[in-house]
Amino acid sequence: MDERTPREMKTREKLERPKQWMAPELLPVPNPEPGWEFRWIRVATLGSSDPRNVSTKLREGWEPVKASEHPEIQMMSMGEKTRFPDSIEIGGLLLCKTPAEFVEQRNAYYQQQTESQMTSVDNNFMRNNDPRMPVFKERRTEVKFGRDSKV
């Protein structure tokens, strides 16, 4: 007689791979919206508010996200009073959004600042350069293939 496996052992649940535990994310990620960038902004540190940081970010163009706009983010209400009661705040961080073009403009601004600072540093460094004893040497690499002829 054939040894047959019982029907209970052939169900999908029995053949399904065991689920693995995953560490929870520190901050939930909102569903993306076209044309908007999201960021968590610090509103408090160790229980004391940080109005300077918040006002800087609001002037920069970030605006608090309404909790009704992102129901996928589960709110944990700690019963604490906040300046933004209808927004998403977790652990002293407030979810904010800004148009994507603002982020691109900001990145371009800081990229230009970085480049001008590097140019200034290079110019200051090269001021003391003497052709007889160069301070700065161009960085070039050479790749050789095959065996060395001196072997």
Could you tell me the pLDDT band of residue 140, with boundaries at 50, 70 and 90? Answer: low
In the predicted structure, residue 130 carries a pLDDT above the cut 80:
no
Q: What is the DSSP letter of 7?
A: G
Contact between 90 and 41 under an 8 Å Cβ cutoff? The reply is no
Better-scored residue on pLDDT, 72 or 138: 72
What is the β-pairing status of strands 89-90 and 48-49? unpaired
Better-scored residue on pLDDT, 62 or 7: 62
CA 4 to chain CA centroid, Å, is 54
Q: Report helix, strand or coil for 41.
A: strand
The number of C-alpha atoms within 13 Å of 51 and in the hemisphere containing its C-beta is: 2
Q: What is the mean pLDDT of the segment spanning 111-123?
A: 89
Q: What is the mean pLDDT of the segment spanning 108-128?
A: 87
Every domain of the chain and the residues it spans: 35-99
Could you tell me the pLDDT band of residue 24, with boundaries at 50, 70 and 90? Answer: confident
In the predicted structure, residue 1 carries a pLDDT above the cut 90:
no
Q: What is the pLDDT of residue 59?
A: 92
pLDDT tens track for 55-99: 999 999 999 998 888 887 766 545 456 778 888 888 889 999 999
Task: For residues 54 and 84, give the distance between their C-alpha atoms in angstroms, rounded to a whole number.
Answer: 11
Q: What is the pLDDT of residue 104?
A: 93
Q: What is the mean pLDDT of the segment spanning 24-51?
A: 87
Note the pTM of the prediction, 2 decimals: 0.62
Contacts of residue 96, defined as CB under 8 A and 6 or more positions apart, other chains included, come to 38, 39, 40, 41, 57, 62, 63, 64, 65
Task: For residues 119 and 138, give the distance between their C-alpha atoms in angstroms, rounded to a whole number.
Answer: 15
Q: What is the pLDDT of residue 71?
A: 81
